[in-house]
Structure 1
């Protein structure tokens, strides 16, 4: 009996020690490190603010929906597999790809529909639409697009907002990061810069 009590108390001590270590000390340590300069914005979700109001996150690419599709002033992210139509928007609370294989007729139909819709929106031949504009990212929430897709959208955004194309190309360059691999244009931050440039 004494042996069982000793083992029970030993187990409770281990439980208490690990509860304090992993339930209090470790989370407090991670939280403390996240407060270091340069890490705080990332720890808080990289929130984008306009006029003192949070308007989104630099890490989540939610495709903007214009009030009037004929006068679309925004740069668009990659498509989302959760979107019901080719031009989105997807549901930002749902993350995931389509899981359709390369030889699935549904994938070909989806990609062809997106290419046609984007070419019509941008006023270009379908052959000019880059691959990232018509293929959904694995998460469906990718905030970055290729420089080619951003460049394709510059004339439309310029026409609708009145911002000169050279200035828009500068903004695209300012929001392009090299990172590892192919440079990407941060769409949420770019759209915030466009909004600021038009005074809204």
Structure 2
């Protein structure tokens, strides 16, 4: 009986600690974070249209396309494909993506396609592409929108994010929002 009482006390303390105190502490910390821990949102026309750190699917030819997603941009199921570079199924999928890019961008050579445009990130939710990934799409997007290529390229150049450490990136959602404002 003595052991049962000790186990019940330990269970109660653990329950209070991990089901009440810990969640309240995390909630409190989140309140001092940007946007009260709800994530960094991106707005257009006064309406939240996405998140800074979560990619979205763009597949219309008049928009810049983002990095492929192994989870179809479902943030609830964040994951990579878990297939290695020698996996035949994975290689076929990458080749299909290459073929699609070459079909839609007939002016490109296979060697000009950056890896980030045909491979998914580890999370499957990468919101960014390389500047090269954006630049190879300029001609298509400019043609679809009846805009000068130089104007669209200048927009891409203005949206390149340079980090203190790591590669330069372009946030696809921010780029496409700015693209919608171009005339």
1:145–1:187: 8 Å Cα contact kept in structure 2? yes
Q: CA deviation at 1:133?
A: 1.0
The equivalent residue for 1:35 is 31
For residue 76 of structure 1, report the CA deviation from its aligned partner: 1.0
Within a 5 Å distance, the mapping from 1:67-86 to structure 2 comes to 72-82=61-71
CA-atom RMSD in angstroms:
2.7
Contact 1:75 1:191 in 2 (8 A): yes
In structure 1, how many angstroms separate the alpha carbons of the residues matched to 2:73 and 2:167?
26
- Give the structure-1-normalised TM-score: 0.74
* Counterpart-to-counterpart distance in 2, 1:63 and 1:25: 38
Deviates more, 1:159-168 or 1:124-133: 159-168
2:119 maps to what in 1?
A: 135
Q: Is the 8 A contact 1:61 1:142 kept in 2?
A: yes
Q: Would the aligned equivalents of 2:57 and 2:73 in 1 still touch at CA under 8 Å? A: no
| Structure 1 position 120, deviation (Å) | 1.9
Q: Secondary structure at the match of 1:185?
A: strand
State the Cα distance separating 1:53 from its structure 2 match.
Answer: 2.6
**Deviation of residue 149 (structure 1)?**
0.6
Q: What's the counterpart of residue 104 of structure 1?
A: 87
Number of residue pairs matched by the alignment? 180
Kindly state the Cα deviation for residue 26 of structure 1 after the two structures are TM-superposed: 3.1
Are residues 116 and 40 of structure 1, via their aligned partners in 2, closer, same or farther at CA, if it must alter by over 3 Å? same
Unaligned runs of 5+ in 1: 67-71, 83-89
Indicate how the Cα distance of structure 1 residues 18 and 94 shifts in structure 2: closer, same or farther if over 3 A, else same: closer
2:97 aligned to which of 114, 133, 139: 114
Tell which structure's C-alpha radius of gyration is larger. 1
